[in-house]
Structure 1
Amino acid sequence: MDSRLPCTVADPVAKTVVRIAADKSAIPGGLVPALHAVQEALGWIPPEAVPAIAGAFNRSRAEVHGVVSFYHDFRTTPPAQHQLRICRAEACQSMGADGVLAEAERILGCRMHEQTADGSMSLEPVYCLGQCAVAPALTVDERLWVRVTPDRIAEILDQARQETL
């Protein structure tokens, strides 16, 4: 293990973070790929991983935290069981995505960038799914839904919940 990599995370997590940070630190501009790799491996970027990543890239913890907090794709909390992503691009908004979002927030009891109290679903924005001709669009996990209306969102969410039973 590289002595430049301070790590205070739990042992299995520490090994993963240290390995990824060491692998990516040799790559110019490797900080963002390292953060993506940590998130892919762990599902999120635990705050305790920041010191190891900072050490590997000879950056301050504040700099690494700044990168993590700047990009919306990075999660600093464990992910929900399912991710609902509603397109917020102009075409979807012009076709009624705001109404879909409002109904999703009402049903789930959470707002954008949050998750349900039971951790079963998170609500996230996405800024184009490439489905402008059949807007508004959303995804539940990797499944794409198009021409979504506020009336359909409850059915879509029920179907997602049933698929995991």
Structure 2
Amino acid sequence: MDDTVESVVRRAAAVHRDQRGALLPVLHSVQAELGCVPPEAIPVLADEFNLSRADVHGVVTFYHDFRGEPAGRTTVRVCRAEACQALGAERLVVYVREAGLELGETSADGAVTVEQVFCLGNCALGPSVEVNGRLYGRVGPVRLGAILEGTVSS
């Protein structure tokens, strides 16, 4: 096992150990530091919290915010909630697929990870996307392309 992963997990567990429901804050800490929750972190987490590996794996895979591999340099989150769907979010999904990506995947060159979410809280300005934590509203395929190329402001 990678000593770096183990030390990151144990350090995060020590910080949050006394909190109720500490596993989730520890997972967030691990992902913030490593860019993901790698598979080799699962047995260490299970040991730290006296849980089965299956229990820890279940939590990691249940929550869409956790990933087993680092995200791309740019992370795009496309809102697929009802309001955004009604305003054309499916066109964004088609655009992403035509660009050779699937939702939940990272491009082969590690440049872009595209994820779907089910509300960004920007319903009045849908369809909405979030790019590297920055929220954009009324996004169509052309604007999404421009945002990804870094040629448009909010």
Counterpart amino acid of 1:26?
D
Q: Answer yes or no: is 1:149 the counterpart of 2:145.
A: no
Name 1:94's counterpart in structure 2. Answer: 86
Question: Normalised by the size of structure 1, how large is the TM-score?
Answer: 0.86
Name 2:40's counterpart in structure 1. Answer: 48
CA contact (8 A) 2:106 2:112 kept: yes
How far apart in 1 are the matches of 2:42 and 2:73? Answer: 24
How far apart in 2 are the matches of 1:152 and 1:81? Answer: 19
Name 1:21's counterpart in structure 2. Answer: 13
How far apart in 2 are the matches of 1:26 and 1:55? Answer: 16
How far apart in 1 are the matches of 2:129 and 2:19? Answer: 35
Dislocated runs of 4+, deviation >4 Å: none
Q: Answer yes or no: is 1:57 the counterpart of 2:49.
A: yes
Q: Deviations over 1:100-132 (max 9, x none)?
A: 11112212x111111111110001012212211
Query: How do residues 24-43 of structure 1 correspond to structure 2 at under 5 angstroms?
Result: 24-43=16-35
RMSD (CA atoms): 1.6
Query: How do residues 61-72 of structure 1 correspond to structure 2 at under 5 angstroms?
Result: 61-72=53-64
CA contact (8 A) 1:87 1:137 kept: yes
Q: Deviations over 1:126-150 (max 9, x none)?
A: 2212211111110111222211112
How far apart in 2 are the matches of 1:143 and 1:78? Answer: 19
- Structure 1 counterpart SS, 2:40: helix
Aligned to 2:76, which of 80, 84, 89?
84
Higher CA-based Rg: 1
Number of residue pairs the alignment of both structures matches? 152
Q: Deviations over 1:72-116 (max 9, x none)?
A: 111111111110111111100000000111112212x11111111
Extract unaligned runs of 5+ from structure 1: 1-7
How far apart in 1 are the matches of 2:89 and 2:20? Answer: 40
Counterpart amino acid of 1:13?
V
Extract unaligned runs of 5+ from structure 2: none
How far apart in 2 are the matches of 1:138 and 1:93? Answer: 12
How far apart in 1 are the matches of 2:52 and 2:145? Answer: 45
Counterpart amino acid of 1:42?
L
Query: How do residues 107-122 of structure 1 correspond to structure 2 at under 5 angstroms?
Result: 107=99, 109-122=100-113
Q: Report the identity percentage.
A: 46
Question: Normalised by the size of structure 2, how large is the TM-score?
Answer: 0.92
Name 1:74's counterpart in structure 2. Answer: 66
